[in-house]
Amino acid sequence: MDFREVDVLHEKLKAMRPLNATELKRLQDEFVINNTYNSNAIEGSTLTLRETALILSEGITIAEKPLKEHLDAIGHRDAFEYVQNLAKNDAPLTERTIKDIHSLVLMNDALNRGVYRSVPVAVLGSLHATPEPYLVPQMMEELLRDYEVAKKAKHIIEAAAEFHLKFEGIHPFIDGNGRTGRLILNFELMKAGLLPVNIKFAHRRRYYDCFDDYYANEQNPRAMAELIAEYEKEELEKYISIIEGKEKNG
């Protein structure tokens, strides 16, 4: 798999004069709102992008929208900020980290947050059967161990894509697996010096197809890795364009 375009853009951005703290915060705040909207919408939230922005930026309650959806937006925002801080400190990905991320994502469910599931679950429409609950702890240990090996042998996008596919296949929690998994993906990208990606609700069919492709084609992560690489290129090009525009006008 060829990630040269991503690597070239990454190196170009690293060589450019960085944005100042105010500009960077504005872009990051905008990303968090968009990412929260899209990640929660993929899981069925009915909040619009505008409503998500009002909840996160203004603290406004949206009439006739469930309290759960408000809490899901706040929880995702808090979880993203948490992984962002972890990434800055190059913290390792551990089971404790994963459970802490999940605890923030599932802030509305005190009984199940940060706790591996104890009941069987089925992912509707999936070609892959999730493992029995008693297998989850062992499979999560193996997943993290295998990922450390994969990171040494593969490009971070391919390794993180495969981790994401396997994590969702294990489906370790009763709820919040998708949001937690996408936050872990961004955690690993940011640790590698890349930008976080925003998997869009509008592209959810292609995103879901990546899982079907993985389990139908001898666990080849190519489709998911290509999707993530496209999103990464989009984010890198956006930042480069902003900096170039600023330099031209400055």
What's residue 245's pLDDT?
A: 86
Q: Measured in Å, how far apart are the chain's first and last C-alpha atoms?
A: 39
Among residues of the chain, what percentage have pLDDT more than 90? 91
What's residue 125's pLDDT?
A: 65
Q: What is the 3-state secondary structure (H, E, C) of 165-216?
A: HHHHHHCCCCCCHHHHHHHHHHHHHHHCCCCCCCCCHHHHHHHHHHHHHHHH
215-250 residue pLDDT tens: 988 899 999 999 999 999 999 999 999 999 877 776
Helices (H), the chain: 4-15, 21-42, 49-53, 67-88, 95-105, 136-153, 156-170, 177-191, 204-216, 222-249
- Residue 240, CA distances (Å) to 60, 93, 117, 161, 168 in order: 33, 29, 42, 24, 32
118-148 residue pLDDT tens: 999 987 667 678 999 999 999 999 999 999 9
105 contacts 115 by C-beta, under 8 angstroms: no
Model pTM?
0.96
182-207 residue pLDDT tens: 999 999 999 999 999 999 999 999 99
For the domain 4-244, what is the CATH superfamily, name and number?
Fido-like domain (1.10.3290.10)
Query: Average pLDDT, stretch 203-213?
Result: 96
**DSSP class of residue 113?**
T
What's residue 119's pLDDT?
A: 96
**Rg (the chain; Cα; Å):** 18
